[in-house]
Amino acid sequence: MLEINTEAPEFSLKDQNGKLHTLSDYLGNKVLLYFYSKDNTPGCTKQACSYSLLHKEFEKFNTIIIGISKDSVKSHKNFESKHDLSITLLSDESTQVISAYDAWKEKKNYGKTYMGTVRTTYLIDEKGKIIFASDKVKAAEDAAKMLLEVEKTKQP
């Protein structure tokens, strides 16, 4: 996991509509960046739907929500349509960005070892610095937990 108070790695990836997004596009806003393993799986669907339900609350704190997985743009579009999602989903089929954010790791399932995306969430401030990071993410609780973290950053 990347260190708090370090510069968040820049990226350029396409969203579910084929539009290119770069991290520097969002300077002046907070960015909640979450990495997940696969569209339309139970945990990832709960996480994305929770973020979609709370996206207006995040907007009150000038926070953009972006989910990243190695799924294709087309897969993201289907995921968005099927679940009526209101958040940005970026496609990182090469896993370069997932790796840069230290979310591409060795995993084990049923005794089999493989490389995959570890559910990881970062909060990046208006200047591009990481101000919160977690790789102990529970999909169904992540959005509510992160909204509390964002609320803590509110200027008095």
Alpha carbon distances (Å) from 119 to 13, 27, 54, 93, 107: 19, 24, 19, 16, 11
Two tokens at 156?
């008095």
Per the annotation, the verdict on 44 as an active-site residue is: yes
Q: Which of 23, 31, 32, 44 is catalytic?
A: 44
Give CA separation, 156 vs 28, 101, 133, 152, in Å: 17, 30, 23, 10
> 47: which 2 tokens?
């996480």
Strand ranges (DSSP E) for 1-155?
A: 12-15, 20-22, 30-35, 63-69, 88-91, 104-109, 112-117, 120-124, 130-134
Active site (catalytic) residues: 44
